[in-house]
Structures are given as structure tokens and as C-alpha cells.
Amino acid sequence: MEQRFPKGNKPRIVIVGGGFGGIELAKKLRNKDIEVIMLDKHNYHTFQPLLYQVATGGLEADSIAFPLRKIFKGQKNLTFRVTEVKKVLPLENAIETTIGIFEYDHLVIATGSTSNFFGQDEIEHNAMPMKSIPEALNLRSLLLQNLESAQIATDKLTEAELLNFVVVGGGPTGVETSGAIAELKKHVLKNDYPELDLKKVNIFLIEGSPELLGAMSVQAQKKSEEFLSELGVTVMTNSRVQSYDGKQLILVDGRIIPTSTVIWSAGVKGVVIDGLNPQCVVRGNRVKVNEISRVDGHDNIYAIGDVAAMITEEFPNGYPGVAPAAIQQGKQLAENLINIIGNKPTEPFKYFDKGAMATVGRNRAVVDIHKVRFQGIFAWFTWMFVHLMTLVGFRNKLVVFVNWVWSYFSYDRGTRLIIRPFLRGNPEPEVVDPKPVKDEAKVN
């Protein structure tokens, strides 16, 4: 029989997901007369903007993750549980998880987004996503294993497959990832693989539209393409992927790239929980919410961050899936939930756009802050400063800073270790099974 976690006397808010939005919301409920329960399938918060540096060996995974329990240290009204959510039971005001059923007064869905393969199963099976730490580590292992395998390849086609690295999607993640691989080639491979002919190592960035960084200014778009070319990345705009079988990437116009590494950053989709009103799911698998983040068709269910589509005239598909939007929604929803519980009027959400930035490589970044636009070394320092400040935890800031200073002066990347070998078709177990291990021992 499933364990049940019944409500007490205080109003209970259950938050699903410990990303930027969920954390901000939970923190703002500190010291309120409200019971807060946070559920996440991991016991840590992931700083997604730096996942690409973990994948390319620049940072250790532990540096960009932070234990959720530590974030809420001393917050007496909050209970944290590692579990995976199965479905919402709106009629019961309860949510079913792998460890039991939690009742709620208000439910907040802050589950974020995952890679969107747009229904192309073959690509999904063969390309590498990079939206979580285990995925970034898998990608790191694959990159390094391919380099090792290329040392002993006996035919040219196999060698080409191993040494062609393709990034699909020219948004910030795609630009940053292809730039980082190019720097790995430039500074690290010549030392690590003296027998390797570096001319055989090719990095491709494929983008369907006519320009990179579609959401940024024309200056930023032009300059990022220029920076990538300087680093030796082959930028292919107006190019769409037809199919990928793990060996050959075929473009819609018929061009073929032999490659065993395709990194997918071409789109994301919301992680929706089963049991919601089906009409609320809109474009991008996001959940349609009103101006106070309430999900369409529900009275006491809310969604914030990447999974939420708060549709406005300016943003007909909802606000962009970036950390500031999630944080602002989390903060506003906390205030509104306090108001709702206290029978006070709510305030509609207002988005404050903080601008956008992307880094291509050493001394090369692009920054748009409204009308202020700059590129190059100052933009690069700005990018580093903003990312360091946004990282959760002083230890993480310190360790990332030490690593970046070290890499800057040594032209090196510290952590190119194949710690868990990557096996295609054998991804990490997605769920931390919270049953006592003794029971698992029986199953296995």
C-alpha cells in the first residue's frame, strides 16, 4: 500500500522541482506560517548554464551542482524529499510519487525542460542531450572515448566518424559548446594526442535559421559567427537535420556528415506532469498559465519557469526559458500565494528582461543588455562575472573561479577523465529509487 503524507493544520504548498524558480519560491516562503514540501528527483540543484563546461572537461560536475538540503538549511517550515513524481490527482488535491502520495493545498510545478527531439525517435536514440549532469558526463566520456578510439582506427571512414563533432542548434548552448570543443582541439589535443593529425578533427555547428543566437542583436549574431570561424568551427546556417543513425548525419539538402557524436541543443520542451487538464498543454509542451502563474483549468495548481507558458502580446509563446524569468516568477508566486492564503488580492507578474549573453571561447563573448551591446574580451569578463555570481554556494564560486583562472593561464582543461564509460543505449537510471536498498537487493 502506498504511504500517504497527509496535511497538517497549516496550509501546505508542494513544489515539484529544485531549479531556479522552485528554489526562489521556497526561500521566499521562509518563516511564513505555511508548510512547504519540495520534491526533486535529484538531491542537488543544477546550474544548467555551465553544463557545457562539464561536458567539455573544463569543470567538475560537483562545482556546478549544489545540495538542495544545504540551500534550505535552517528553513524549518520546509521538508525536502528525493523522489520522482508520477501524476497529479487534482480531485484529491494530492500528487502521487514513487515514495507515496502527498496532499497539498497549493501545488507548484517547476519541473523545467528537457531536450526536444520533435518526435524524431532515431535522432533521440543516437544524439547526445545535455540538460542534466549525468547527460553532460556521458557526453564528456563519449568525446574522450572517441579520441582514444581514433588512435587505433584502421579505416578512414571510422576515423572520420570518430573525429567529426557535430553540434545541432545555434542558440547560446550550441554556440558555447561548439566553441568549447574548438578550444579543446586547439589547446589540449595537440599535447594529449601527439600522433593525431589535428586537421582531421572537425567541429560543425548546424542551425536551421539564417543566423545564430536568434534571440540576440544582429551585432551579437554576426560577431559570434565570426568568433566561431576564428576558432575553426564550421558554421552551417540554413541547414536542417533529416536523420541521424549514429554514424551518418544527413541534412535535408542531402549533405552527409559521417560522425559518431551529435550534440543536440536544437530545442527544449517542458516536463509536464500527468493528470493535468489536457487543454493546458501548449506549444513546446509548456503549461499555459495566467498572469499569476495559475495553470489553465485548475484552481490551486501553478507552474513557473521553463515549463510555464505565460502568454502575453510581446511573448506569444511565453517568456524565454532563462534563469531570470524563472526566478522572477518564483518570487512573484511566493508573494501571491501568501496573499491567496491570507485572502488578499494578487498582483499580476511583470517580466524584467535582463538581456542575453553567450561566450564563444577565451576572450570572446557577446552581450546584449537592451540597447547596450558589446562583444569581445570585456563581454567575456562580463559573462564570467555574471555566471560566477549566479552560481549557488561560496565553495562552488571559489572552485569554479580557481579552475577558470588556472585554465586561463595554463591554456589547459583540468578534468578530462573517463570516469564512467559511456555506452550508447545505456543511460543513467533516471530515478533515484527511494526504497530502502535492501529491497532493491531482492529485485536485482
Restricting to residues 305-334, which ones interact with a second copy according to CB under 8 A? none
> Smallest distance, Å, CB 239 to a second copy?
22
Question: Which residue lies nearer to a second copy by CB, 198 or 419?
Answer: 419
Count of chain residues binding a second copy (CB under 8 A)? 80
Nearest to 352 by CA among 328, 321, 330, 320: 328
3-class SS letters over 356-369: EEEEEECCEEEEEE
Report, as residue numbers or ranges, the catalytic residues: 176
- CB of residue 438 vs a second copy: minimum separation in angstroms? 5
DSSP letter string, 86-134 = EEEEGGGTEEEETTEEEE-SEEEE---EEE--TT-HHHHHHSBP-SSHH
Identify the residue among 8, 74, 254, 345 touching a second copy (CB under 8 A). 74
In the complex with a second copy, the residue whose CB is nearer, 79 or 290, is 79
Binding to a second copy in span 240-279, by CB under 8 A: 246-247, 260
* 416 is a site residue for a second copy (CB under 8 A): yes
Candidates 42, 298, 354, 397: give the one binding a second copy (CB under 8 A).
42
Q: Is 423 in the site for a second copy (CB under 8 A)?
A: yes
Rounded CA gap, 364 and 20, in Å?
Answer: 27
> Does residue 191 touch a second copy according to CB under 8 A?
yes
- Show Cβ contacts of residue 134 under 8 Å, excluding neighbours closer than 6 positions: 427, 428
Which of these, 323, 276, 322, 324, lies nearest to 299 by C-alpha position? 276
Pick the binder of a second copy from 27, 67, 89, 277 (CB under 8 A).
67
Which of 2, 121, 195, 313 contacts a second copy by CB under 8 A? 195
Considering only 26-34, 169-177, 212-220, 425-433, which stretch makes contact with a second copy by CB under 8 A? 425-433
Euclidean distance between CA atoms 15 and 17, whole angstroms: 6
- Residue 70 sits in the site that holds a second copy (CB under 8 A): yes
Please tell me the number of Cα atoms within 13 Å of 307 on its side-chain side: 24
**Closest of 137, 193, 229 to residue 419, by C-alpha:** 137
Site track 125-144 with a second copy (rule: CB under 8 A), x = hit: -x------xx--x----x-x
Smallest distance from the beta carbon of 251 to a second copy, in angstroms?
19
Alpha-helix residue ranges (DSSP H) falling in 231-365? 323-341
Candidates 205-213, 223-231, 315-323, 429-437: pick the segment binding a second copy (CB under 8 A).
429-437
Backbone angles phi, psi at 37, to 5 degrees: -120, 125
Pick the piece of the chain touching a second copy (CB under 8 A) from 270-278, 338-346, 352-360, 407-415: 407-415
The answer to whether residues 74 and 88 touch, using CB atoms and an 8 Å cutoff, is no
Smallest distance, a second copy to C-beta of residue 396, A: 8
Nearest distance in Å: CB 265, a second copy: 20
C-alpha cell belonging to residue 376: 569581445
Of 196 and 384, the one with the shorter C-beta distance to a second copy is 196
Binding string to a second copy for residues 146 to 175, with x set by CB under 8 A, is what? x-xx-xxxx---x--xx-------------
- Give CA–CA dist 366/375, Å, rounded: 4
**With respect to a second copy, which residue has the nearer C-beta, 41 or 294?**
41
Q: Is 220 in the site for a second copy (CB under 8 A)?
A: no
Residue 171 near residue 320 (C-beta atoms within 8 A): no
The yes or no reply on residue 99 touching a second copy (CB under 8 A) is yes
The reply on whether position 82 binds a second copy by CB under 8 A is yes
How many Cβ atoms are within 10 Å of 84's Cβ, its own excluded? 17
- The string of DSSP letters for 251-280 reads ETTS-EEE-SEEEE-S-EEE-PPBTS-GGG
